[in-house]
Structure 1
Amino acid sequence: MLDLKSGIIGQAKVKVSKNNTAKNMKSGALPVFATPAMVALMEEAACTALKDYLEEGEGTVGIKLDIAHVAPTAMDDIVTATAVLDKIEGRKLTFIVEAKDTHKVIGKGVHERFIINNEKFMSKL
């Protein structure tokens, strides 16, 4: 890893559409932004934070999520997830994550990722 330090920030955005609703993802019955879609967006934000800090052949995998989905988001709204690197413990990275729509915070929590060697990881499958 290259000069990895606490405080780096990544963001990811998505528009709420039929594809990422709770009803479509089968995580609920309503046409609102799905919790699994929020989780994926938070992980994407963490990956984005790391894109300039990993060496050739390195990647990361998510190992833990502790989040709350605290408010609904309607169709056609934009959701932005932010991940801030909080702790570095060897190859284990801890992020503070938050998701907001254009009106409010909709989710927050902690996400852990682990730095891996991509080839070595894939050889274990």
Structure 2
Amino acid sequence: MDARDVIKIGMSAERTLVVPPERTVGHFVSYMPMVYATPMLILEMEMASGDAIHQYLPPGWVTVGTEVDIRHIAATPVGATVRTTAKVIAVERRVIRFEVEAFDQKRKIGEGRHARGLVSVAAFKERFGVP
């Protein structure tokens, strides 16, 4: 399958999250502050990217994260609302590239690029022996 047949530049999605204690760096590392953890920020950016295109993929196809180039530029406390956006900026045969950003109520907290690879679920399951 060629992603260029179904995915178009400009497709986008947005996610909103109220930061829970479980998504803070202090939750994972006891001596660190209870602020939104960078891996959790990246997770939301990846999920927003998937949300932007998932509905356009034919049955039996998904995308998986393959590249992350993110700057986490501001700390965000527990209870703050984070809005994450993703927009398709390039489409190759098997790779979709996104511009991603995240904001809290006061400012931009993260930005960067993310890429997702197009995968056949059947081929993936066969390769890894997953039923």
Shared fold (TM-score, shorter chain, > 0.5): yes
Q: How does 1:80-119 map to 2 (within 5 A)?
A: 80-119=83-122
Q: Which amino acid in structure 1 is aligned with residue 104 of structure 2?
A: D
Gaps of 5+ in 2: none
Does the 8 A contact of 1:27 with 1:35 survive in 2? no
Paired residue for 2:26?
Answer: 23
Task: Name the CA shift for 1:27/1:114 in 2 (closer, same or farther; >3 Å).
Answer: farther
RMSD in angstroms over aligned alpha carbons? 1.5
Bigger Cα Rg: 2
For residues 91 and 27 of structure 1, what CA distance do their matches in structure 2 show?
Answer: 40
1:53 aligns with 2:56: yes
Does the 8 A contact of 2:6 with 2:57 survive in 1? no
Does the 8 A contact of 1:11 with 1:45 survive in 2? yes
Q: Which has the higher helix share?
A: 2
Query: What is the aligned length?
Result: 125
| Superposed displacement of residue 27, structure 1 | 9.3
Does the 8 A contact of 1:70 with 1:106 survive in 2? yes
TM-score, structure 2 normalization:
0.90
Could you list the per-position Cα deviations for residues 8-32 of structure 1 after superposition, in whole angstroms to 9, with x for gaps in the alignment?
Answer: 0011121111110111133971100
1:6 aligns with 2:9: yes
Task: Name the CA shift for 1:28/1:7 in 2 (closer, same or farther; >3 Å).
Answer: farther
Q: Which runs of 4+ in 1 moved over 6 A?
A: none
| Superposed displacement of residue 72, structure 1 | 0.4
Percent of pairs with identical residues: 32
